Amino acid sequence: MKDFEKMPVKEEKPNHPTITMTDGVLIPKKGNKRILSSWMMTFIGAIALLLFLIIFKADPYRKIFFFVIKGTPTTFEITIAAIIGAVIIGTLTGIGSVSNNRLITSLCGVYVELIRGIPLLVQLMFLYFALGSIIHMEGNIAAIVALSICFGAYMGEIVRAGIQAIPKGQTEAATALGLTKAQTFMHVILPQTIKIVLPAIGNEFISMLKDSSLVSVLALSDILKKGREYISRTFLSLQTMLIVALIYLIFTLVLSRLVGLMEERLHKNG
């Protein structure tokens, strides 16, 4: 006797099987045995190889390692600062992309398109030199700003998609209760968006750690730059790059597991 007039909504099934793949690293989580075990094998393998080289092939690997590892603080300093910058820019861009103000949405849209259409290395060098010539800036600050602007665009898209994934009924319910737009956003939309976007944002963190190596072209002494310095001094290119690669790999694997743990926690809390 109720709802006789409502047709059941038909789920539209695509005709072709589709896959979703990102170019990011795989995030090892408890639920996914395959990825977790390949993560474990790679991680143990990388550590074992590095230890082996340092201990049993001390010449030249130990020297290389202790020289190159000095770039770690720079790499992390730049990565962490740029992550903070990119999250802020990304959140603002994401909010701007769904705003009612046409001008703001267009601005955000153009920013995102612009950034996504230019190779990261090109942007980085352009911004670095542009920022450096307009306002005098320390090299690492310029690099951090440039990386933040580059990755802010990608995060903006993630945040926008996250906000748009929240059902309209949430905003309606909050509005009907008398909450202002700002209150609705802060207490209803944002907390739910964070949950949705965290996995994708975590992926970006890992990309940023890796892509921070691009700043080595900007005369900053990160891990890669240290490696190149060492090569120019000793011509041990293959050995040095092996150590550099192992260091990045281990950092990336640790970070991806941390992101995985964060996601596991998030799911446990409802």
Residues that bind another protein (CB under 8 A): 1-6, 167, 169-170, 172-180, 183, 187-188, 191-192, 195, 270
| Min CB(195)–another protein separation in Å | 7
Instruction: Let me know if 270 is exposed, middle or buried by CB neighbors in 10 A (0-12, 13-18, 19+).
Output: exposed
CA distance 180 to 174: 8
By C-beta, is 40 or 186 nearer to another protein? 186
| Min CB(244)–another protein separation in Å | 42
Helix (H), strand (E) at residue 150: helix 139-165
| Min CB(173)–another protein separation in Å | 4
| Min CB(27)–another protein separation in Å | 22
For residues 87 and 93, the answer to whether their CB atoms sit within 8 Å is no
| Min CB(9)–another protein separation in Å | 12
Tokens of 185: 């956003």
Tokens of 97: 């992309």
By C-beta, is 17 or 169 nearer to another protein? 169
By C-beta, is 105 or 175 nearer to another protein? 175
Q: Count CB-CB contacts under 10 A for residue 136.
A: 9
CA distance 202 to 154: 12
By C-beta, is 2 or 10 nearer to another protein? 2
For residues 109 and 172, the answer to whether their CB atoms sit within 8 Å is no
CA distance 195 to 75: 28
| Min CB(126)–another protein separation in Å | 41
Tokens of 40: 């474990």
By C-beta, is 99 or 183 nearer to another protein? 183
By C-beta, is 55 or 177 nearer to another protein? 177
